[in-house]
């Protein structure tokens, strides 16, 4: 059994959420961790997790929501951290890819949520895009653990994050022909990695181009099992142990 550690299964992307989760479960995905990105999705995920036993959630304000969030949105997150389904604060972080999202504002929002994680001793789910140095410099000032989601950096950067207490999330990108991340995984070993789909984005081969869903973890697992020459049982054992080492509330 595999766990999808990062997906965005909510009404913005899927019409029939119950079917998406059921189909994934039939394919051997026992649990799906869905990440909120703004107040609207945080509220929706809390409701969905109430009625869908295999859905777990993380609550956070994504850097691309930096222009629209309010202090009340952060208070709302703080109030729902003790929900039995809330595993972490995320997805939070820094994204310098697009203009229009002020860096200083992003850093301020990121720190506020890291402060919350520290205060409540919660793991964090980190989004970092074209912002590696700032992300590392900031995370070094905290004593947290968590996931660097959709990791695509070098072995050297991976080692820094690992040293800080983080696991690295890999997704469909690893199955793409020219992706260098597979060599990073091979040289460091699966002990530092967990699997995610980032649904509805980043659909793995051989389905690339179609809409992604948590069941496609199977294709990522198939690829890694062959590429690393380990059985799928072993792969699921290692990744599930890695997941449990980060998300303490996971049963």
Q: Rounded to the nearest whole angstrom, what is the least distance from the CB of residue 107 to Zn ion in the complex?
A: 19
Residue number with CB closer to Zn ion (44 or 91) = 91
Q: Of 173, 184, 214, 219, which Cα lies nearest the Cα of 197?
A: 214
Count of other CB atoms within 10 angstroms of residue 120:
11
Residue number with CB closer to Zn ion (46 or 228) = 46
Q: Strand, helix or coil at 3?
A: strand
Q: Rounded to the nearest whole angstrom, what is the least distance from the CB of residue 41 to Zn ion in the complex?
A: 10
Tokens at 58, concatenated: 């993380």
Does the N-terminal peptide bond of residue 200 adopt cis geometry, omega within 30 degrees of 0?
Answer: yes
User: Nearest-CB residue to Zn ion?
Assistant: 91
Q: Rounded to the nearest whole angstrom, what is the least distance from the CB of residue 180 to Zn ion in the complex?
A: 21
Residue number with CB closer to Zn ion (43 or 230) = 43
CB proximity list for 6: less than 8 A, separation 6 or greater: 33, 35, 91, 125, 147, 149, 150, 169, 171, 196, 197, 198
Residue number with CB closer to Zn ion (73 or 91) = 91
Please tell me the distance from the alpha carbon of residue 81 to that of residue 65, in angstroms, as a whole number. 20
Residue number with CB closer to Zn ion (64 or 91) = 91
Q: Rounded to the nearest whole angstrom, what is the least distance from the CB of residue 27 to Zn ion in the complex?
A: 21
Between the two ends of the chain, the Cα-to-Cα distance in Å is: 14
Q: Of 63, 66, 67, 12, which Cα lies nearest the Cα of 41?
A: 12
Q: Rounded to the nearest whole angstrom, what is the least distance from the CB of residue 46 to Zn ion in the complex?
A: 17
Based on C-alpha coordinates, what's the Rg of the chain? 17
Tokens at 147, concatenated: 């996931």
Q: Rounded to the nearest whole angstrom, what is the least distance from the CB of residue 6 to Zn ion in the complex?
A: 6
Interface positions with Zn ion (CB under 5 A)? 91
Residue number with CB closer to Zn ion (6 or 143) = 6
Residue number with CB closer to Zn ion (12 or 234) = 12
DSSP 157: H
Please tell me the distance from the alpha carbon of residue 55 to that of residue 80, in angstroms, as a whole number. 16
Q: Rounded to the nearest whole angstrom, what is the least distance from the CB of residue 197 to Zn ion in the complex?
A: 10
């Amino acid at each position: 059994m595999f766990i999808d550690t990062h997906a965005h299964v909510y009404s913005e992307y899927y019409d029939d959420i119950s079917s998406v989760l059921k189909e994934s479960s039939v394919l051997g995905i026992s649990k799906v961790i869905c990440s909120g990105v703004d107040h609207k999705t945080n509220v929706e995920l809390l409701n969905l997790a109430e009625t869908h036993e295999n859905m777990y959630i993380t609550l956070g304000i994504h850097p691309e929501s930096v222009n629209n969030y309010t202090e009340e949105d952060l208070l709302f997150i703080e109030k729902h951290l003790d929900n039995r389904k809330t595993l972490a604060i995320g997805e939070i972080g820094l994204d310098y890819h697009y203009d229009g999202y002020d860096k200083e504002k992003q850093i301020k929002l990121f720190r506020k949520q890291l402060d919350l994680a520290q205060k409540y001793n919660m793991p964090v789910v980190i989004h970092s895009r074209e912002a590696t140095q700032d992300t590392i410099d900031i995370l070094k000032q905290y004593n947290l653990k968590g996931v660097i989601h959709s990791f695509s950096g070098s072995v050297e950067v991976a080692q820094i994050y690992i040293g800080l207490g983080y696991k690295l999330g890999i997704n469909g990108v690893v199955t793409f022909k020219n992706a260098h991340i597979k060599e990073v995984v091979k040289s460091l070993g699966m002990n530092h990695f967990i699997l995610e789909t980032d649904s509805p984005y980043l659909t793995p081969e051989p389905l690339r181009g179609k809409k992604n869903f948590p069941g496609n973890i199977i294709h990522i697992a198939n690829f890694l099992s062959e590429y690393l020459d380990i059985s799928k049982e072993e792969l699921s054992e290692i990744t599930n142990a890695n997941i449990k080492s980060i998300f303490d509330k996971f049963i």
